[in-house]
Chains A and B, each alone.
Chain A
Amino acid sequence: MNIVVCVKPVPDREKMYVDKEKGVLVRNGADMVINELDYYALELGLRCKDMQKDFNVLVLSMANHNCINLIRSLYGYGVDDAVLLSDKAFQGSDTLATSYVLSCGIRKIGECKIILCGCESSDGCTAQVGPNLAQRLGMKLLANVLSIQYVDEKKIQVQQIDYQGIKIVEASLPVVITAVSSELKIRTKKIKFILEAQNKDVSVWNAQDIHADCAQCGLSGSATQVKSMHVKVGIQTGVMIDGDQEEKVEQFISYLKKWKGM
């Protein structure tokens, strides 16, 4: 039985900033990293494998071909296989088209009863691909999952966040799970796996390989369009309090008093 963990390479946010004078986003050749929440999804997948040794954990990603080494590096965590979906036809996909492409990849992998992904990406922040995948694949959805308590071939027990707090639920498989950040400790890479990975390849599949209809991929398969982007105007740096520690606190308090008096 396969567990598929969907991961997304995103630009390293730490290295991006907005040039307010020019009104542009400076990517500065920002390195690509794996979306942070996807590591929680990966950890959940690997914990399923810890509980059921015969489960197979695959990572799946739709990305530019130059992300191949980033995807390969995930073998170091102990995943069994890695698949990269890469084709010019996929470029410019919105969430609707992205989930279509991913679902085609998942169908090709086959025998998937658990699909995991980070709840949202740090660049798009839409949190749409997980629920979208569930709908497309006709699977049930467990959103905002903190941890997995039990899993076997037929069912899974998870801790899930909802608007009332945290609950423990049991669901029958197959399911799509979206992971949120938690106190879960994410494992580090193991030398043994890193060495083994040297003999492993990342499978690269294009649109034809996964029998994807190109009209449903990329820009042509996307329903939404970005009409315009603009840097918000009128943001200025405010007053900075100066002085030594004591003076700073004094001033801060006088601002607090002034504000309350208003």
Chain B
Amino acid sequence: MEMIRKYKPGVVLLGSTLYGRTIAPWIASALKTGLTADCIWLDMNEGTLIQVRPAFGDNIEAEIICPRRKPQMATVRPHVFPLAECRDNDGTCKLVRYDVTNFKTDFLTLLDRIKVLENSQSLEKAQIIFAVGRGIKSKKNLDMVFELAVLYGAQVGATRALVDMGMIDRKYQIGQTGVTVKPKLYIAFGISGCIQHMSGVLCNEIWAVNNDENAQIFKKATLGCVADINVFLPLLLNKMKE
């Protein structure tokens, strides 16, 4: 806030992460300005920031602008742009260092940490992901997917539904409230394909195995297979082992 008031930027961008999604709306509210969440594309047009975000499901994109107020604020989904290299004062950008040692909160006391996540970076950087959803049905099937993933050199990811059921740890969660992944190949086992999950999957090669031929996921999939997971997985595992 202090920095924004001092430097008066036309545009303020934050990462659409757990933390960014929490503090950005607080800042926007304090500045009484607009904020567009989870942008997947940005453009500048004569000083106006064109902010593109998914809306009403994964097949619609909305262009949002904030024409009358400044700064124009957006959170941007991680990894939708390649990392830019920032060299200090090379004419294109200027790195400002700001002393934050005097800022602290006093209303909150940390009592305990009950679960520490391992770094989810390995999932974020995975080239191949085998993802599992509610349709996986049993722990046995889940174990088979883990085994398949090892055989094929893939990482395992999951939907929030499966995490909430307590079937798999939260560190595997992909989607709006989990990590955003960008693999070359993404195979969905028993995943219906709702927007909250799929918005965290940036991938052109999506394969899907699901018993419901009307599942949303087949509309996104480049390769689809309607099959009973309970039969499909053991067969696949056996043949892969050969």
A-side interface residues toward B, CB under 8 Å? 13, 16-18, 20, 25, 94-96, 99, 119-120, 122-123, 125-132, 134-136, 140-141, 143-144, 157, 159, 161-172, 180-183, 222-232, 235, 237-241, 245-246, 248-253, 255-256, 259-260
The 8 A CB mask of B85-120 against A (1 = contact, 0 = none) is 000000000000000000000011111111111000
A164 contact set on B, CB distance < 8 A: 113, 116-117
Do A229 and B62 touch across chains, with their CB atoms under 8 A apart?
A: yes
Residue contact A232 to B59, C-beta cutoff 8 Å: yes
CB distance A165 to B221 under 8 Å? no
A227, B64: Cβ atoms under 8 Å? yes
Docked CA distance A164–B114 (Å):
10
Q: How far is the CA of A37 from the CA of B166 in the complex (A)?
A: 17
The residues of B that contact A132 with a CB separation of less than 8 Å are 25-26, 28-29
Contact of B28 among A128, A143, A232 (CB under 8 A): A128
Q: Is B7 an interface residue (CB 8 A)?
A: no
- A223 to B32, Cβ gap below 8 A? yes
B239 touches A169 (CB 8 A): no
Find out whether the CB atom of A249 lies under 8 angstroms from the CB atom of B235: yes
Indicate if the CB atoms of B224 and A226 lie closer than 8 Å: no
Docked pose: A8 CA to B226 CA in angstroms = 36
B48 nearest in chain A by CB position: A227
- Measured in the bound complex, the distance between the Cα atoms of B218 and A164 in whole Å is 34
Does B236 lie at the interface of the complex (its beta carbon under 8 Å from any beta carbon of A)?
yes
Q: List residues of B (185-237) whose CB comes within 8 Å of A's CBs.
A: 185, 194-196, 199, 205-207, 209, 218-228, 231-232, 235-236
Q: How far is the CB of A57 from chain B (nearest CB, A)?
A: 23
**Contacts A99-B29, A126-B37, A224-B36: A248 and B225 contacting too (C-beta < 8 A)?**
yes
What are 15 A-B contacts with C-beta separation under 8 Å? A18-B59, A125-B199, A127-B21, A131-B26, A140-B107, A167-B112, A169-B109, A223-B28, A227-B50, A231-B59, A235-B219, A237-B221, A239-B222, A253-B239, A259-B185
Specify which of A125, A157, A163, A172 is in contact with B38 (CB 8 Å cutoff): A125
Beta-carbon contacts of B158-175 to A below 8 Å, as 1s and 0s?
A: 001000101000100000
Q: Which of B60, B112, B117, B218 contacts A230 (CB 8 A)?
A: B60
Most buried by B among A119, A161, A238: A238
Contact pick for A136, options B22, B29, B55, B117, CB 8 Å: B29
**With A16-B56, A126-B37, A167-B110 as given contacts, are A144 and B223 in contact (CB-CB < 8 Å)?**
no
* Contact yes or no, A168 B111, CB < 8 A: yes
A200 to B218, CA, bound (A): 47
Q: Which residue of B lies closest to A246 (CB)?
A: B235
Expressed in whole angstroms, the minimum distance between the Cβ of A255 and any Cβ of chain B is 6
Check if B69 sits within 8 Å of A223, measured CB to CB: yes
Task: Please give, as numbers and ranges, the residues of chain B lying within 8 Å of A245 by CB-CB distance.
Answer: 227-228, 231-232, 235
B207 touches A255 (CB 8 A): yes
The 7 A-B pairs of least Cβ separation, nearest first, read: A223-B34, A128-B25, A238-B222, A224-B34, A135-B29, A131-B25, A126-B37
**In chain B, what residue has the closest Cβ to A130?**
B25
Known: A140-B107, A161-B18, A170-B109. A238 touches B224 (CB 8 A): yes
Of A96, A132, A232, most buried by chain B (CB within 10 Å of CB) is: A96
Q: Do B114 and A232 touch (CB < 8 A)? A: no
B65 close to A (CB within 8 Å): yes
Query: CA–CA, A159 to B63, complex, Å?
Result: 36
Known: A223-B28, A238-B224, A251-B225. 12 other contacts (CB 8 A): A25-B57, A135-B29, A143-B22, A161-B170, A181-B177, A183-B166, A225-B64, A232-B58, A232-B60, A232-B61, A245-B231, A249-B239
